[in-house]
Amino acid sequence: VPMGLFWGDIAEGVRVEVLNSDTNLSTKVYWIAEIVRLAGFKALLRYEGFDNDSSHDFWCNLGVKEIHPVGWCASNGKPLVPPKSIQHKCSNWKAFLVKRLTGVKTLPHDFSKRVQESTQYPFTKLMRVEVVDKTHLCRTRVALVEQVIGGRLRLVYEESQDGSDDFWCHMYSPLIHSIGWSRSIGHRFKRSEVSKKIEGLIDAPSQLFLKVKDVDQSGDWFKDGMKLEAIDPLNLSAICVATVRKVLADGYLMIGIDGSEAADGSDWFCYHSTSPSIFPVGFCEINNIELTPPRGYNKPPFKWFDYLRETCSIAAPVKLFNKEVPNHGFREGMKLEAVDLMEPRLVCVATITRIVHRLLRIHFDGWEDEYDQWVDCESPDLYPVGWCQVTGYQLQPPAAQSTRE
């Protein structure tokens, strides 16, 4: 996210120069404030001189508002004037500020430049990419970048006549790839039959896309028919019984959800073998997660041992799965802004309700639990509070009881 790489420089106690809104002066004046609390991109600020008085504290988005390091006003000829509510409290502001500020932290001198730079993205309009076909998950299609907001791309499928057949995803989504990717790994691809040529089209360079880890497929590897557990791409609330349907090149796998597969495999879905959305048999049981059995399974309760025997299949070896758990720092109850991956143009107010290793259960505030989604802690679809304000993206507020339908 923007500012992510230098967020460690920002903490409670850091002093900044910010507009002074407690003044009768007609010109813009500034004053020094302390960050007393952080919540996502938002900081609760208290002007110097208010001591323990929180009555004038104010929230400000560090990626949006004019926030400067201490010293910026002097360098830029801007006046530092104490707020009028406390002007009378001190007869020597110079001595007061020297005492308050000596030895404390301020922002880096290039803070504004870094904020600006961190909101630039390499994708531009009219770049061509390969993206999953939202109506046939088993194949990709060519789409054009139509819009870029905060690293999120609005892609329009190349054949769309009126530009309305679109798909939103983050530029680091595992659902988009450079042109030629499908052919290189053996993935199904729907060729576009485009009648008119658009000027200015370019294929997005491959270095712009998410890199996946190299894997060694030469030894023990996934094989067709092996069973596993996988997040259902059509219902991200559920982890389901699934099967490896086809082994592709470069570590990619086509996965089918048992009991709900179309006969022609049109709803198989491509996951990389290192994907945090696929798990070895038994993952749900070990972690006390309800595993969704195959639709129509008529011998509940579902038992893997019996099912493997009944289907004459074997479980994919545990050693082939991604077992890395980043020290992510997420905690249950934390609020964030999260993409509704069933409607990926929407970024919503959400809460983390459960954490299983690297997997987060995301609850969309105001909605029933059945709409919760399992999301990886490193997903590019999770954002700190205030991200929508920083990027100019519309935030979906919590659903009101009456509008849930």
Partner 1 sequence: EATGRKWEQKQVQIKTLEGEFSVTMWASDDKK
Return the range that interacts with partner 1 (CB under 8 A); candidates 103-111, 150-158, 287-295, 373-381: 103-111
Cβ partners under 8 Å of residue 73, min gap 6:
17, 30, 79, 80
Does 73 bind partner 1 (CB under 8 A)? Our answer is yes
Does 41 bind partner 1 (CB under 8 A)? Our answer is no
Give the nearest distance from C-beta 20 to partner 1 in angstroms: 12
CA torsion through residues 140, 143, 146, 148, sign: positive
DSSP three-state, residue 390 = helix
Considering CB under 8 A, how many residues would be counted as binding partner 1?
30
Return the range that interacts with partner 1 (CB under 8 A); candidates 106-114, 160-168, 349-357, 388-396: 106-114
DSSP three-state, residue 305 = helix
Cβ distance 50 to 33 under 8 Å?
no
Give the nearest distance from C-beta 93 to partner 1 in angstroms: 5
Give the nearest distance from C-beta 324 to partner 1 in angstroms: 17
Does 134 bind partner 1 (CB under 8 A)? Our answer is no
Give the nearest distance from C-beta 60 to partner 1 in angstroms: 20
How many residues are present in the chain?
Answer: 405
Structure tokens at 171: 């530029």
Q: Scanning residues 17 to 36, which ones bind partner 1 (CB under 8 A)?
A: 32
Give the nearest distance from C-beta 81 to partner 1 in angstroms: 7
Return the range that interacts with partner 1 (CB under 8 A); candidates 72-80, 200-208, 260-268, 308-316: 72-80
**Dist. CA 53–CA 383, nearest whole Å:** 32
**Dist. CA 113–CA 107, nearest whole Å:** 12
**Dist. CA 344–CA 52, nearest whole Å:** 44
Does 75 bind partner 1 (CB under 8 A)? Our answer is yes
Does 50 bind partner 1 (CB under 8 A)? Our answer is no
Structure tokens at 39: 């919540």
Cβ distance 377 to 328 under 8 Å?
yes
Among 93, 167, 371, 383, interactor with partner 1 by CB under 8 A: 93
Give the nearest distance from C-beta 76 to partner 1 in angstroms: 10
Among 18, 43, 45, 107, interactor with partner 1 by CB under 8 A: 107
Among 103, 296, 300, 301, interactor with partner 1 by CB under 8 A: 103
Give the nearest distance from C-beta 104 to partner 1 in angstroms: 6
Does 85 bind partner 1 (CB under 8 A)? Our answer is no
Does 109 bind partner 1 (CB under 8 A)? Our answer is yes
**Dist. CA 124–CA 200, nearest whole Å:** 11
Among 55, 92, 161, 403, interactor with partner 1 by CB under 8 A: 92
Task: Look at strands 136-149 and 188-190 and give their pairing.
Answer: parallel
Q: ∠ CA(342), CA(346), CA(351), 5° rounding?
A: 85
Phi, psi of 37 (to 5 degrees): -160, 150
Give the nearest distance from C-beta 114 to partner 1 in angstroms: 10
- Which bin fits 150, alpha (ψ -120 to 50), beta or left (φ > 0)? left
Does 94 bind partner 1 (CB under 8 A)? Our answer is yes
Structure tokens at 354: 């459960």
Residue among 14 and 390 whose Cβ is closer to partner 1: 14
- Max Cα–Cα distance, the chain, nearest Å: 86
Does 205 bind partner 1 (CB under 8 A)? Our answer is no
Among 97, 138, 226, 254, interactor with partner 1 by CB under 8 A: 97
Cβ distance 278 to 328 under 8 Å?
no
**Dist. CA 89–CA 340, nearest whole Å:** 50
Give the nearest distance from C-beta 118 to partner 1 in angstroms: 12
Given the rule CB under 8 A, which residues bind partner 1? Answer: 5-6, 8-9, 15, 32, 69-71, 73-75, 79-82, 92-94, 97-98, 101-109
